[in-house]
Amino acid sequence: MTWWADWQSHGTLQIMFQPIIALTDFHIVGYEVLSRPYTADGQPIPVEAFFDEVARKGHAVVVDQRVLTTVTEFVRHQGLALTMPLFWNVHPDSIAHGVLTQARRFLAPDQFVVEVTEKGDWGDAVIQALREHRQAGYRIALDDFGAGYSGLNRLIQIQPTIVKLDRLLIQGIDRDPIKRQLVQAVTQLGPHFGFRVLAEGVETADELVTILRLQVDLAQGYYFARPALWDQISAEDAAWQHALLSIRAQEILANQWMGHDAQQTWQTAWPILIQGACCRSASVALGEILRRAEHVTRRHWRVAQRSPAGWRLWTPDGPAWASSPLLGLLEAWQRHPDPPNPWVWQDTTTFFDKPGAAAIWRVPMRPDVVIVAWTGWLHAWASELLAWGETFSQLVGLVGQAESLWDRD
């Protein structure tokens, strides 16, 4: 009996899961399904050698059928508890033999993303099956992009939703300018072709920093988590969330113009905000940042969120509700048809008992959240103070993406 007949008759196939991370909001958005073959006596078979041999001998269809059966049983068992899609790598031969049609009978469009490698024998049947799959509302990921010679042609043929960069492009990208240029070229194509870019095989912090700067959308790899059985998967890791937030915060600070004192203050203040987000206590961290802002700038600072019940505030002393005169200032900003950012009010006599100046900044990604600051001095908004507010708004927006601060506290 050959190794293949032995495995087909008595061997097993176990599925493991590796998380896929959104680099924009720092959350897990899906899991790749990774198959692990075992002999009849439970010994693991080397994965790469197994699947290379399967493809070479033309057995990919049989293996993918077994994987499909395992995945559909898993999804059925999880039911409503499965809230994220599974990414499943399917061989072109299996696609040509109708495996995607079978998958659509059991799996909804939001339950799985088919991954197809740019390598392999692509005939008209494969391309047509992928087009039908996309037209049925299912997402397609082009896998191992950059590993073969036909990547751009495949990109045009199937119009994928996601392009997965081969791990060889990501490995050591922080030290290789050619790899960086290639990845940057792909990320620049994404908005024009309608796909998101996913970096595979991210293993180091330096690689992560580099792909973040190159505007890669998604990532997976040992830096975040190794493949694991479903019941062994850990929740989102505060360590890599902290790293992602820190990198983003450093980028914000590097791109902002401000004086030396403000720069020094933010370099010590933003880690408090980041740590607060990762520890699920960002509102407490906001209070500390507001206290620092008031001490350094000699202005009053608040974070305000608009809600049906009114304007909700974060103050140095904790959450509160806006009341006059601050409420009048916020409502005046809200009535403006198209307020500039920042919106500067040079004489606040209308709202406060004495003359003063105020400014309001919109928080990125949160149209209902603003930063508001005011002082008792007229015309008191120098460019450095406006830069301070811009930095503050971007960092608050960053933390707001990382946790449900606005909807929970």
Looking at the fold, whether 14 and 104 belong to one and the same domain comes out as yes
Q: Choose the final residue of a domain: 192, 209, 235.
A: 235
Q: What is the pLDDT of residues 107-140, one digit of tens each?
A: 999 999 999 986 667 788 899 999 999 999 999 9
Which residue is associated with the tokens 């991370």? 21
Looking at the fold, whether 146 and 230 belong to one and the same domain comes out as yes
SS3 289: helix
Looking at the fold, whether 160 and 280 belong to one and the same domain comes out as no
Looking at the fold, whether 359 and 286 belong to one and the same domain comes out as yes
The reported pLDDT for the residue numbered 222 is 92
Percent of the chain with pLDDT over 70: 84
- 240 lies in a domain? no
Instruction: Single out the residue of 67, 68, 50, 64 nearest to residue 4, CA to CA.
Output: 50
Who contacts 136 (Cβ-Cβ below 8 Å, separation ≥6)?
104, 109
CATH number where 10 lies:
3.20.20.450
- 51 lies in a domain? yes
Residues 190, 170 contacting (CB under 8 angstroms) = no
Q: What is the pLDDT of residues 305-360, one digit of tens each?
A: 888 888 988 888 888 888 888 888 898 898 888 889 999 988 888 787 778 889 99
- 28 lies in a domain? yes
The reported pLDDT for the residue numbered 265 is 59
Model pTM score = 0.76
If pLDDT is split at 50, 70 and 90, which confidence band does 10 have? confident
Q: Which domain holds residue 311?
A: 245-408
Residues 36, 30 contacting (CB under 8 angstroms) = no
Checking if the pLDDT of 257 tops 60, the result is: no
The radius of gyration of the chain's CA atoms, rounded to the nearest angstrom, is 26
Mean pLDDT of 239-246: 71
* Rounded distance between C-alpha atoms, residue 384 and residue 298, angstroms: 13
* Rounded distance between C-alpha atoms, residue 54 and residue 346, angstroms: 73
CATH number where 281 lies:
3.30.450.40
* Rounded distance between C-alpha atoms, residue 366 and residue 348, angstroms: 26
Number of domains the chain is built from: 2
Looking at the fold, whether 170 and 97 belong to one and the same domain comes out as yes
